[in-house]
Amino acid sequence: MKRINKLLILVLVLAGLAGCRKPEAPEYYGFQDLHIGRGEGQQATLGTTLKFYNPNPFSLQLKRAEMDVLLNGRPAGHSVLDSTVLIPKKDTFYVPVTMQLNLQGVLSNALQIFLEKQVTVTLDGRVHLKRGAIPFSRPFHYEGKEDLNALLQGAY
């Protein structure tokens, strides 16, 4: 009987440790509904919805996110999301993003962007997440080439 109790305790401890593993970073799947609004001076408002996939077998809450956006290696803007987004387990989720776009940074590379018909988009930032009652934060980085036509579709 004592041997069965020890085995049961060992199984429960191992199961508890397996449940405490670090969450995997969400996978970036792209953006949709890009729109550029009016601004003042050297600023314009850019809005889009980013699409991600949560590979974890548990749900999370996105509490806050900050990111810097670079186009062809030059600063283009900064975004802060300060509202809660529920992230379902093993499913896609969407994060609305609004930022002030630095038109001077974008226009300084406009010729290169239009000649190549592609732009290298770099996103660097940090997300603050919550799993149950446990808050934690993770850095993130994305860099990829985006087709200029795809970026401008739906922009107004």
Q: Is the pLDDT of residue 102 over 80?
A: no
**110 vs 20, more confident:** 110
pLDDT of residue 6: 57
Q: Whole-number mean pLDDT of the chain?
A: 79
- For the stretch 124-142, pLDDT in tens is 999 898 988 888 888 888 8
For 23-152, give the CATH class.
mainly beta
Read off the tokens for 120.
């290298």
State the pTM of this model: 0.69
User: Whose CA is closest to 127, among 48, 47, 41, 24?
Assistant: 24
pLDDT of residue 20: 60
Asked if 148 and 115 count as a contact pair (C-beta separation under 8 A), the reply is no
- For the stretch 2-22, pLDDT in tens is 666 555 565 555 545 455 667
Asked if 79 and 98 count as a contact pair (C-beta separation under 8 A), the reply is yes
- 3-state class (DSSP) for residue 129: strand
Strand partners, 124: 68, 141
- 3-state class (DSSP) for residue 42: coil
Q: What percent of the chain has pLDDT over 90?
A: 19
Cα(101)–Cα(45) distance, integer angstroms? 6
Structure confidence at residue 83 as a pLDDT band (50, 70, 90): confident
Which residues fall within 8 angstroms of residue 141, CB to CB, at 6 or more apart?
A: 122, 123, 124
CB neighbours (10 Å) of residue 59?
15
- For the stretch 31-43, pLDDT in tens is 888 787 877 777 8
Read off the tokens for 69.
């956006």
pLDDT of residue 19: 54
User: Which of the residue ranges 40-49, 61-70, 104-113 would you say has the lowest mean pLDDT?
Assistant: 104-113
- For the stretch 49-63, pLDDT in tens is 989 899 999 999 999
pLDDT of residue 55: 93
> For the chain, how are helix, strand and coil distributed in percent, rounded to 5?
20, 55, 25
